Structure 1
Amino acid sequence: MDCGCSEPACGCEVIGDACDMGCDSGCDSGCGGAILDGSLACKLGECDLGDPFSLFGEACGFSAGGWVQMGYHNNALPLFNSRPDEFQLHQAWLWAEKAIDTSCGFDIGGRIDYVYGTDSQDTQAFGIDNDHWDNDWDNGGDYGHALPQLYMEAGYGDLSVKVGHFYTIIGWEVVTAPDNFFYSHAYTMYNSEPFTHTGALATYNVSDNVTAYGGYVFGWDSGFEDNGDAFLGGLSVGLSDDLTVTYATVGGRFADDRITTEQGYMHSIVADVTLTDNLQYIFQSDLLDTENNAGALVRETFGINQYLIYTVSDCVAFGGRFEWYNQEGVFLNDNGTDDDADDFAQESDIYALTLGMNYKPHANVIVRPEIRWDWDDDLLAGLDEGDDQTTFGIDTIFMF
């Protein structure tokens, strides 16, 4: 049996069907950390990712790449994963970037992202219902194209400013599949947070432990057309080597077109805690409170997400996510206006527990199986199976 120890500091030998790790079971697996006792842990600890390959590479500060995400889930969720019992292409992604380097003074760069798949319609500039920018780049009812990022960035020293169309800084989960632990998403991320903005955002590294953000954006999820006037900003503080807290907020007009008006305030607070060398805990709390031009309630939501991620090695990690999502809003009954007498407000509590695994058989491949339980006694979430649902899903991401 191979214990997975390359150049062990204090011995690693096979005794029966188990590995004697030595030094309080602190055998270095050669792939980023200690592993548990027992033969199964030894096998999980074995990790040979190989050398990552890049289709485009880097030249003169310019780089490009992408990934392909394909997956299956047996039940529909009212989130990104809304197409059940089908093997589908979620994201075929290409990006190109000139990253800035301010170590020697002023520098300028930028980035463009393109995506095709079932996730694209959720990443388009749908904040204005007039098919501007990429909002009408659809291919049938579920597939389509999007350009979720197109911006220029300039920086000098500790200050940088991006101008254009870019991803939000709100929340912990993101649209880009390789940057999330789980295949599915949280209700908070999908329903109470913006995906993209268009405008200008400054980032200032106050110190090694403090980063400040601030800028002006055209509302939520809009392309290069004014859909509102809002402030986007926040503060990320490393309180210790093991704890980072990030507060991000957006306030002002989020939507203003011929169909929808919405203005208000939203914030996200994320605490990222390193409990041990292998164990990470994330706590997130989101608050959203908006109204229309007449001062009537549009949306009021509050959510708490908790994540616990255990990394066995660079190849294997296990995680859990538990979410409580509370929403209150105006539900429209007939002609779509916010001031009809027969419209009504209703409150709903939704709970979701997700258990998942990340397995990397190669440096360019991630496999993410998960099982998820959702509960919604108020029947407002739109679950496939009524008030409670069990969903199995698995996806694979190929990066290049």
Structure 2
Amino acid sequence: MKKTLTALFSLFLAVPAFSQDKEEDKGKFTFSGYIDSYYLSNFNNPRDMKNTGASGTARAFDQKTGFSLGLAQTKIGYSTSKSDVVLDLTFGPNADLGNYGNNIGPLGKDGSSSLIIKQAYFNWKATDKFTLTAGQFGTHIGYEVIDAPANYHYSLSNLFNNGPFYHVGVKAAYAVSDKFALMGGIVSGVDQLYSNNNKPGLIAQVFVQPTAGWNVYVNGITINRNSKDPVTGVTPTGTYNLLDLTTTYQVTDKFLFGLNAATGEQGGKTWGGIALYPKYDFSSTFSLGARYESFSNKDGVTALIDAKGNGVSVNSFTITPTFTVADGHLLLKPEFRVDSYDKNFFVDGDGKDTKSQSTFTWAMIYKF
């Protein structure tokens, strides 16, 4: 009898542990997002209240002066030991601009809910080192991203503005080690959910960590672009090739240095540039960062062109202090930026053509 009671008592104790293991296998939901808004002043005092220049593409998101809502994000995730799924929904002016290639749906331009989908993909963790991804996902190319909390500066670089925002397709990643990884994939287009291109493109990435604190990403894409651009209405010809280098080095515990360089080619015409990103953390609540960028589109192959349709080059300097308050949830970013072009690109408040533009932005970003 004593042995029987002992066995039953042991079984009773084992049940909670078994249930706990099962509970852990069910996976985990996550919910996050952010809201950003800003006030922008343009020292040229343009009559149309815009900061976008002759081609309308000098700024990716912060396109008008005054107060504005940027973007509201709701990001839902579900993760298990073998899989992940991410649904990243965005709303607001910057969401429309960042997802411009999704504005045409099966019911036409006025009948699509695809515009709110920034990302929608799933991962299958086939092994501890090998992962497969399918759906719509953010691009691997570049230093900056659409999400305002992830960037140090509020305004975005020309390298970001002229590079891909997202892709639709499949990709596979293999982590050889913590210091070396590879990614390759097949995508249907560049910044377009629907593409009439029957020749899919290829994307690739190589990650290397030469030493602790130094991360290097070499990124690439090649694709035959023959779909009409939803914004410009232009149908590009020839193969679109882009090679991108993104690297960060944690010089000290407080000083981070980043670099982004890219060169692109299509139909024998080229564009490219380089951007430098020094940042110093004075404390947990205050930091100061700068960005210097030189970008050239003299062949006129990307959207950055003057009023006559000729390609331009530009040098830009941005400096931004960041104040982190409200237990890390609220980021306050007063930003000053100067853009100097090699040709007349802007029009001031008196209607005169000018090569340069200076802006001041007070950005407010709440993340959760």
TM-score bucket (shorter structure) = 0.7 to 0.9
Counterpart Cα distance in 2 of 1:381 and 1:165: 35
1:175 aligns with 2:146: yes
Output the TM-score relative to the length of structure 2.
0.78
3-state DSSP class of the match of 2:342?
coil
**For residue 375 of structure 1, what is the aligned residue in structure 2?**
340
1:63 pairs with one of 3, 8, 30: 30
Note closer, same or farther for the CA distance 1:311–1:325 as it changes in structure 2 (3 Å cut).
same
Cα displacement (A) at 1:313: 2.0
1:305 aligns with 2:278: no
Counterpart Cα distance in 1 of 2:281 and 2:215: 19
3-state DSSP class of the match of 1:119?
helix
1:390 aligns with 2:361: no
Cα displacement (A) at 1:168: 0.3
Question: Which residue identity does 1:389 align to in structure 2?
Answer: Q
1:124 aligns with 2:99: yes
Structure 2: unaligned runs, 5 residues or longer: 1-25, 43-50, 53-57, 303-307
1:287 pairs with one of 222, 241, 263: 263
Counterpart Cα distance in 2 of 1:316 and 1:163: 39
Alpha-carbon deviations, 1:235-280, whole Å to 9, x = none? 0100001322110000122343495134221011012111111111
1:252 pairs with one of 223, 234, 250: 223
Counterpart Cα distance in 2 of 1:123 and 1:133: 20
Q: Which consecutive aligned stretches of 4+ in structure 1 deviate over 6 angstroms post-superposition?
A: 381-385
**For residue 20 of structure 2, what is the aligned residue in structure 1?**
none
Superposed counterparts of 1:182-331, under 5 Å: 182-191=153-162, 193-227=163-197, 229-257=200-228, 260-262=235-237, 263-291=239-267, 297=268, 300-330=270-300
Question: Which residue identity does 1:354 align to in structure 2?
Answer: T
Counterpart Cα distance in 2 of 1:398 and 1:383: 33
Counterpart Cα distance in 1 of 2:107 and 2:98: 9
Cα displacement (A) at 1:354: 0.3
Note closer, same or farther for the CA distance 1:171–1:135 as it changes in structure 2 (3 Å cut).
farther
Identical aligned residues as a percent: 20
Alpha-carbon deviations, 1:108-129, whole Å to 9, x = none? 22111111111122222527xx
Alpha-carbon deviations, 1:6-32, whole Å to 9, x = none? xxxxxxxxxxxxxxxxxxxxxxxxxxx
Alpha-carbon deviations, 1:50-91, whole Å to 9, x = none? xxxxxxxxx941111211101111122422245333211101
Counterpart Cα distance in 2 of 1:146 and 1:369: 28
Indicate conservation of the 8 Å contact 2:346/2:357, yes or no.
no
Note closer, same or farther for the CA distance 1:331–1:81 as it changes in structure 2 (3 Å cut).
same
Cα displacement (A) at 1:396: 0.9
Indicate conservation of the 8 Å contact 1:137/1:146, yes or no.
no
Q: Which structure shows the higher helix fraction?
A: 2
Counterpart Cα distance in 2 of 1:167 and 1:273: 23
Output the TM-score relative to the length of structure 1.
0.72
Structure 1: unaligned runs, 5 residues or longer: 1-58, 102-106, 292-296, 333-343
Counterpart Cα distance in 1 of 2:106 and 2:301: 28
Indicate conservation of the 8 Å contact 1:125/1:134, yes or no.
no
Indicate conservation of the 8 Å contact 1:148/1:166, yes or no.
yes
Indicate conservation of the 8 Å contact 1:67/1:94, yes or no.
yes
**For residue 90 of structure 2, what is the aligned residue in structure 1?**
115
**For residue 29 of structure 1, what is the aligned residue in structure 2?**
none
1:350 pairs with one of 291, 311, 314: 314
Cα displacement (A) at 1:314: 2.0
Counterpart Cα distance in 2 of 1:383 and 1:268: 34
Counterpart Cα distance in 2 of 1:86 and 1:71: 8
Indicate conservation of the 8 Å contact 1:134/1:145, yes or no.
no
Question: Which residue identity does 2:314 align to in structure 1?
Answer: I
Cα displacement (A) at 1:145: 4.9
Say how many residue pairs are matched.
Answer: 313
Counterpart Cα distance in 1 of 2:266 and 2:289: 33
3-state DSSP class of the match of 1:87?
strand
Counterpart Cα distance in 2 of 1:326 and 1:378: 12
